[in-house]
């Protein structure tokens, strides 16, 4: 029997998180998951993303235990892997992340 992993996505409120979940689901044969958690310090944003992903998981992988939280102790307990998906500063920092390299022809 293959080991099934427990994974937390830190930055679970990102609009990119559903794409990460889809990638994980598409690779269940290579990386079986028993538990998936989202962690974010922006509760309202995370709830929107998590509730959408909850539907996706229920339809495609009902065996995966799913939860989301803003409590770091809860998020990082009983996990095998952490996928860090964090950008401090939200959209204002994203703008800087994209514009600074362009000023340097990168």
Per the annotation, where are the binding residues? 94
Name which of 82, 12, 19, 75 is nearest 45 in CA terms.
12
Binding site, annotated residues for substrate: 94
- The whole-angstrom separation of Cα 25 and Cα 53 is 11
Asked if 39 and 75 count as a contact pair (C-beta separation under 8 A), the reply is yes
Token pair recorded at residue 61: 């992988």
Beta-bridged to residue 81, according to DSSP, are: 7
């Amino acid at each position: 029997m293959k080991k099934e992993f427990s994974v937390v996505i830190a930055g679970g409120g990102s609009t990119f998180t559903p794409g990460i979940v889809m990638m994980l689901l598409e690779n269940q044969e290579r990386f079986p998951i028993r538990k998936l958690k989202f962690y974010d310090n922006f509760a309202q944003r995370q709830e929107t993303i998590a509730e959408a992903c909850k539907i996706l998981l229920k339809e495609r992988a009902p065996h995966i235990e799913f939860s989301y939280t803003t409590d770091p102790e809860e998020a990082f307990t009983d996990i095998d892997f952490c996928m860090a998906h964090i950008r401090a500063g939200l959209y204002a920092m994203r703008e800087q992340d994209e514009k600074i390299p362009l000023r340097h022809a990168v």
